[in-house]
Amino acid sequence: MTTPTHVVSAGADLFADAVAEQAVAVSRVDWRPPMAGTESDLAAVAGDPLRRDANERALAAMLGVTAHLVDVAPASEVLGLEEGQFLHAGPPIAWDRASGPLRGALMGGAALEGLVEDPEDAVALFEQGTAVSLEPCHHRRAVGPMAGVVTPSMWMFVLEDLATGARTHCSLNEGLGKVLRYGAYGPEVLTRLRWMREVLGPLLQRAVRATVGSSGPVDVTGILTQMLQMGDEAHNRNRAGTLMLLRDLAPAMVTSGADATFPGSDVADALRFIGGNDHFFLNLAMPACKLALDAARGIEGSTMVVAMARNGTDFGIQVAGTGDEWFTGPAQLADGLFLGDYGPDDANPDIGDSAITETAGIGGFAMATAPAIVRLVGGSVPDALATTRRMHEITLGENPRWSVPVLEFQGVPSGIDVSRVCRTGILPQINTGMAGKQAGVGQVGAGLVTPPAEIFPQALAALAARARGRR
């Protein structure tokens, strides 16, 4: 018997360790068995003749979209939202199963719309359910961070793929702390939302329209490219992105803003509000990601995830090859860092449409480019680098426009592949804010979270059924 000079060890470390102890060179290959019960569906999907081409088309469609900021306008106008209609983050849900932060945001939204005077009175309104209705943002070409509640009078960013005219939408970011999207609905929350409605929204509309008419609409995808070179991963760090947006809109805010209706002090307040909120750009990053992913919807045979979204109770995904079907499981609790005296017992499970950023390859998938994020969401710098590398194992490709300098300009891992997730057991890594589980509390922390594992075998089963049906 000859001694091997080199051993390749796949999977568990036990064998590799034993070999290494015998002074034989060993290359460790990270391998895990597929998720339980997925073998037959994996085989069916692997054998689907449409799959390879469909996935190439889905990835190319996503990577081909450039999002521009073409307008800012009320949700009633651009989404056709009518009195009593409320949008929310995540897959569909009714009031009876809604989490605390979603309930709190809906209550505040009802007060903002004048349906009730006191937000607490809105509980009866939603329990009765005749004068109000709930619908996911995603069903109206929109996304919303955290609770993601959108009401008719809220102003929305309007993003467009100029090549196709496709559009997506997102509300204006309120800042941090006690804010509606984290489920707070106190007087300071409503006062801020009213100022955003009466002053910020109209000023932004003027500035955006003036910019569109002069230098052209702001290239949101281009700002994302720059942000990734500036320490932002565009989910929980949007500092550079916010500053670039401010840079691009400030001149038009000065020339188109100040007049008889809005004095210079209003313009200055608006500049201060945007500049004082490092997360302001998140509400442009999210619809830019949705715009890209929407281009990949409805491609038969594609196993690429086109949406990950949470309503605070359920985590749902949609897949390019399975139409508008949601595959859902229980939203998980994030592991992370807490604000002030808050702790794990205060946190609501994962909530928000913001995981659309990870679905598009940024956020948790781009943590390597934003090592400072670990101070907010926990973990270590080596973890952040390893996370981006690990996500390449479950994605279809890289995004050449969105590169990570410290990984020698490698593109971010893009296009989550349901098959690869099931085959490796590696779950998408999301970084996220944490809302208090009681309505009215607001933000309690930030951390790292994954989807519930079972939704990927669910989606795989649906893909396999379609593949078998097509034979």
Residues of the shown chain interacting with a second copy in the complex, contacts defined by CB under 8 A: 226, 229-232, 239-240, 243-244, 246-248, 250-252, 254-255, 258, 264-265, 267-269, 271-272, 275, 371-372, 374, 380-382, 385, 405-409
> What does residue 404 show for φ and ψ, rounded to 5 degrees?
-110, 105
For a second copy, the closer of residues 97 and 247 by Cβ is 247
For a second copy, the closer of residues 267 and 467 by Cβ is 267
Cβ atoms of residues 235 and 350 within 8 Å: no
In whole angstroms, the minimum distance from the beta carbon of 129 to a second copy comes to: 44
In whole angstroms, the minimum distance from the beta carbon of 367 to a second copy comes to: 11
- Strand, coil or helix: 296: coil
In whole angstroms, the minimum distance from the beta carbon of 358 to a second copy comes to: 20
Compute the distance between CA of residue 10 and CA of residue 245 in angstroms, rounded to an integer: 47
Compute the distance between CA of residue 361 and CA of residue 303 in angstroms, rounded to an integer: 16
In whole angstroms, the minimum distance from the beta carbon of 214 to a second copy comes to: 10
For a second copy, the closer of residues 36 and 372 by Cβ is 372
For a second copy, the closer of residues 166 and 381 by Cβ is 381
In whole angstroms, the minimum distance from the beta carbon of 408 to a second copy comes to: 5
Strand order in the sheet with 167-171: 167-171, 155-161, 67-74, 218-219
For a second copy, the closer of residues 139 and 247 by Cβ is 247
In whole angstroms, the minimum distance from the beta carbon of 25 to a second copy comes to: 12
Cβ atoms of residues 298 and 50 within 8 Å: no
In whole angstroms, the minimum distance from the beta carbon of 369 to a second copy comes to: 9
For a second copy, the closer of residues 227 and 396 by Cβ is 227
Q: How far is CA 375 from CA 379, 384, 427, in A?
A: 8, 11, 23
In whole angstroms, the minimum distance from the beta carbon of 388 to a second copy comes to: 12
Cβ atoms of residues 291 and 338 within 8 Å: no
- Strand, coil or helix: 467: helix
Strands (DSSP E) contained in 162-267 are 167-171, 218-219
In whole angstroms, the minimum distance from the beta carbon of 362 to a second copy comes to: 15
In whole angstroms, the minimum distance from the beta carbon of 268 to a second copy comes to: 4
Burial of 327 (0-12, 13-18, 19+ CB in 10 A): buried
DSSP 8-class letter at 202: H
Compute the distance between CA of residue 154 and CA of residue 50 in angstroms, rounded to an integer: 42
For a second copy, the closer of residues 113 and 232 by Cβ is 232
CA atoms within 13 A on the CB side of 173: 27
Q: Which tokens in the block code for residue 285? A: 């990053």
For a second copy, the closer of residues 273 and 327 by Cβ is 273
For a second copy, the closer of residues 22 and 164 by Cβ is 22
For a second copy, the closer of residues 278 and 314 by Cβ is 278
In whole angstroms, the minimum distance from the beta carbon of 180 to a second copy comes to: 24
CB atoms near residue 254 (< 10 Å):
14
Q: Which tokens in the block code for residue 439? A: 């309505």
For a second copy, the closer of residues 60 and 407 by Cβ is 407
Cβ atoms of residues 318 and 446 within 8 Å: no
DSSP 8-class letter at 34: P
> DSSP states of 411-438 as a string?
EEEEEEBHHHHHHH-PPPPEEEEEEBSS
203 closest CA partner among 72, 79, 70: 72
For a second copy, the closer of residues 199 and 467 by Cβ is 199
Compute the distance between CA of residue 172 and CA of residue 185 in angstroms, rounded to an integer: 16
Compute the distance between CA of residue 28 and CA of residue 344 in angstroms, rounded to an integer: 36
In whole angstroms, the minimum distance from the beta carbon of 392 to a second copy comes to: 17
> DSSP states of 139-157 as a string?
GGTB--STT--B-TTSEEE
